[in-house]
Structure 1
Amino acid sequence: MAGERNRIITIANQKGGVGKTTTAINLATALAAIGERVLIIDLDPQGNASTGLGIDRKHRRLSSYDLLLEDYGIEEVSQETAVPNLYIVPSTMDLLGIEMEIAGQTDRVFKLKKALSKEEAFRFSYILVDCPPSFNLLTMNAMAAAHSVLVPLQCEFFALEGLSQLLETVDQVRRTVNPRLDIQGVVLTMFDSRNNLAQQVVNDVRTHLGEKVYHTLIPRNVRVSEAPSYGKPAILYDLKCAGSQAYLQLASEVIQRERQRLAA
């Protein structure tokens, strides 16, 4: 990408069950499908992004844990996936103990940034970081390393309340450790057009955040829910389903926003 060697986007929401990992997997797959070289870094100890891309736990000899401890580089810890151009640094349960291991280190929030500043990271045009559903040292590392944050937001009653907390977190990170951090966009997930409340949430979020909200709505979709159990992104599992088509649209929007940002 002109003017930049890669783009690091953290996918974060401190609330669980909002479609965060599903968004990471399918957005990455859509970007890879149009020729971008993409890396997912799975920073969630649950490892759902790794499982959803078919990386069996017994094949995760090296992981994001090893990357953060600076024992290994990206070349060594990343794995190819079944999607051409898409790679992943898988997660293991070892991540659960990493906060205690690095808590006393002065650079504890910059571990990921240091790893992604090395030459091997620039082989990827997009790096997507899938965070745990909480604001902890792992999420802090992701935000300290990123250019921007993409926020999946479920179309439910308390959506705005959770979003305001996340925006405050982003402001805090910008003030303290990463002044370049920006909101790439808010993507509304699990949208049910038959539900009046869901439409009201869409209207409220767009009223509050305007152009920061993507036009694409990710619908509730059975095929998208089924795909991880087969170790596949929804786009590979069923390209024609409504959820897959929505993620392809979202990828187009993400790239369009990046082009507008570079042209500004």
Structure 2
Amino acid sequence: MPVITFANTKGGAGKTTAVLLLATELEQMGFKVTILDADPQYWISRWRDNSAGKTGIKVIPYVTQASLEKHIQEGRREADYVLIDLPGARTPLLAKAIGHSDHVLIPIQGCSMDAQGGAHVIELMQYLADRGNIHIPFSVVLTRVNSMVTTRALQTVKALLAERRVHVLNTPIIERSAFRDVFDCGGSLHTLATGRASNIDKARDNARAFADEVLMHEALRCRKLQLGRAASLQAVA
């Protein structure tokens, strides 16, 4: 089953929010999801504690470099998707998690510090490709984007990513109060009371569009693998 890792070496990039939105939308679509919580802030684990009876998502807390591989193997057997929430820092766990991933998502806010944290992950991905011939698909997802204003800083980040030919998801994660409320209330945007947060419908639409795009790229990845295997079999024949 696919393993999707969320990584940015700077904290506060919206990484855990992106994990939660994808996980809860996947569950809403009928998929079984396991989240490996390796972030020392343990926001996902706290969310799960607040979600009794509201979700079937399995959250494994206190994931370490030593336990990561075992948890991934168990998650692949039990779930349709395994999501990994990494620490917002440079740690040996970063490279190990990436090495076990099918796709790496790099959340970046529209600011230079977030872009630098994301650049550390991108540089590691490129190093693995150049030196180890390890090619793992990765994408940037822009987070906490103001729906009304495009800042100069965000434009600079977009230009930098385009210059490096880094794939950026078409769907940014908009700054919404509903996303914060889900952490407080538990459950998902679909169990959150309509009057609990403003623009709840827009928040749900944004989360679904984000999840749909991730699933589309996962389908394309699987298709490429199938074509590659078919070509290998024909070459052998």
| Fold match (TM-score > 0.5) | yes
Q: Structure 2: which 5+ runs fail to align?
A: 195-199, 225-237
Distance in 1, Cα, partners of 2:20 & 2:189: 9
Compute the displacement of 1:235 (Å).
4.5
* 2:54 maps to 1:82: yes
Q: 1:189 to 1:196 in 2, by over 3 A?
A: same
Compute the displacement of 1:204 (Å).
1.6
Q: 1:88 to 1:200 in 2, by over 3 A?
A: same
Match for residue 46 of structure 1? 41
Secondary structure, in 3 states, of the residue corresponding to 1:213?
A: coil
Mapped contact 1:155–1:202 kept (Cα < 8 A): yes
Q: Structure 1: which 5+ runs fail to align?
A: 1-5, 57-79, 100-107
Match for residue 186 of structure 1? 140
Compute the displacement of 1:127 (Å).
0.3
Q: 1:196 to 1:31 in 2, by over 3 A?
A: same
* 2:122 maps to 1:153: no
CA RMSD in angstroms, aligned pairs only: 2.8
Match for residue 230 of structure 2? none
String of CA shifts for 1:48-77, please: whole Å, max 9, x gaps. Answer: 111123359xxxxxxxxxxxxxxxxxxxxx
Distance in 2, Cα, partners of 1:178 & 1:117: 23
Compute the displacement of 1:237 (Å).
2.3
Secondary structure, in 3 states, of the residue corresponding to 1:214?
A: coil
Distance in 2, Cα, partners of 1:149 & 1:88: 19
Structure showing the higher strand proportion among its residues: 1
Kindly tell me the number of residue pairs found equivalent between the two proteins: 218
Aligned AA (2:68): L
> TM-score if structure 1 supplies the norm length?
0.71
Compute the displacement of 1:220 (Å).
1.1
Compute the displacement of 1:112 (Å).
2.0
> TM-score if structure 2 supplies the norm length?
0.78
Matches within 5 A, 1:55-74: none
Compute the displacement of 1:151 (Å).
0.7
Compute the displacement of 1:187 (Å).
0.6
Compute the displacement of 1:166 (Å).
1.7
Secondary structure, in 3 states, of the residue corresponding to 2:169?
A: strand
